[in-house]
A and B are shown apart, each in its own frame.
Chain A
Amino acid sequence: MFSKENKLEKFKDAETIIGASIKVKGNFQGQGNIIIEGTLEGSLKTEANLFIGDKAKVVANIESKDAIINGEVKGNIKIHGYLALGGSAKIYGDIQYTELSIEKGALINGQFLVLSESDKRKDNKKSDDRVDEVEK
């Protein structure tokens, strides 16, 4: 389950913390761990881990390595590693993930897709296109 230790361990040295009183607008990109407790509109991407607090409101497409989401997200989510949706999470968008856990109470309105499968589909599509070109 989503213990405080889980949260703290991953995000102890967060490079970026957006507090509850902050409103972010635009394309937010980072390399380190990010904690969002406030509002964000635009896009959100990091090469590391992402934590979205239970009072946070995000209207953006999201991409990160691992993520814990407890707040509201309107946008598509792409998590290359492990995604944990807490009981207070409200997601309005499609979710791509490698590993997933969902706590009771989470609200999700969108499609789920395992990232490795979608990558395979993309690879298959690309190789099909190449075969077609050769045959012509």
Chain B
Amino acid sequence: MHVYIYDEYLNKSKYNRAINRLEIRLTDLGLNGKIIRLGGIKNIKGTIQNEIKLGAKTIIAVGNNQTINKIIGAVIDTEIYSDFQKKTLLGLIPVGNDNSIATSFGINNIDDACNILLARRVEKIDLGLIGNYYFLNQASIQSLGTILHIDDYSLEIMEKGEVRIINLLSDIRETIKSNPHDGKLDILIRTRKRDESLITVKKIKVSNPQEKLIIDDVIEIETPVEIGIMRDKVNVIVGKGRLFD
């Protein structure tokens, strides 16, 4: 059974046409399911986990990066699964802006998303973990003044620029290779002086008293924080044009 989670912002009239088109397409493809609208729901995790207990096989986030961020915790919590119950799959239907996560999975628009849901190509993806927050793509912070603590050493960045802690790339133009199945994070540091640094780690501590860490372009948190990775934590329905092998 499919359960579609509509983000609150989709209630705005400018998205009516897109949502109508989506629902017609899903009906045509035989992919109808239950719709849950996030606006007004206080316990999002509880609501989704209830659907999983009732047998939902696929939870589909209809919205953007923020939508996925709101629901991912509920989908990966294995305590709610009964014995022999297969893990629920995560699907994505991008609507509006800030959809880098969907792009990473080769899902570029509503029509793509519906066809990809039908094809049901599944990949196990690592999940980044920062305290109580999860991230699929990356966490980023301004580089000047940032200190990274890794194993037995630390890195200090002396120039302005950006530090990106990457699980899954979201930009097709990016030259580095990032693998969301390897249980590792890629740390990419680019400064305004155009020099580039690259390190691969399993966990890292980030601190910067002046700047905040931004998770998947949607959440800002204070540092210091410890960032780790959970291997093959979430099963995602992906497209052929995904940005990884």
Residues of A within 8 A of B (CB): 14-29, 37-38, 42
Contact = CB atoms under 8 A, between A and B. Distances in A.
B199 interface: yes
B199 A16 contact: yes
A24 B152 CA distance: 11
A19 B191 contact: yes
Given A19-B189, A21-B159, A21-B161, A26 B195 contact: no
Contact of B158 (A23, A27, A42): A23
A21 B17 CA distance: 49
24 contacts: A16-B199, A17-B198, A17-B199, A18-B155, A18-B197, A18-B199, A19-B191, A19-B195, A20-B193, A21-B143, A21-B158, A21-B161, A21-B189, A22-B155, A22-B156, A22-B157, A22-B158, A22-B189, A23-B156, A23-B157, A24-B154, A26-B152, A27-B152, A29-B152
Contacts, number: 59
A84 B189 CA distance: 28
Contacts of B159: 21
Interface string B152-184: 111111110100000000000000000000000
B156 A19 contact: no
B197 A19 contact: yes
Nearest to A38: B197
Interface in B133-164: 143, 151-159, 161
A18 B191 CA distance: 12
Contacts of B189: 19, 21-22
Contacts of B198: 14, 16-17
B191 A23 contact: no
Contact of A25 (B154, B191, B195): B154
B158 A17 contact: no
Contacts of A24: 153-155
B126 to A, nearest CB: 18
Interface of B: 143, 151-159, 161, 189, 191, 193, 195-200
A88 B33 CA distance: 68
Contacts of A17: 196-199
Nearest to A18: B197
Contacts of A22: 155-158, 189, 197
Given A19-B189, A19-B191, A25 B156 contact: yes
Contact of A23 (B143, B155, B161): B155
Contact of B200 (A15, A27, A37, A42): A15
A42 B193 CA distance: 26
Contacts of B158: 21-23
Given A19-B191, A21-B191, A22-B158, A28 B197 contact: no
The 6 tightest CB contacts between A and B, nearest first, are A26-B153, A19-B195, A19-B197, A21-B159, A27-B152, A17-B198
Contacts of B154: 24-26
Contacts of B193: 20-21
Contacts of B195: 19-21, 37
Contacts of A18: 155, 197, 199
A14 B193 CA distance: 21
Contacts of B199: 16-18
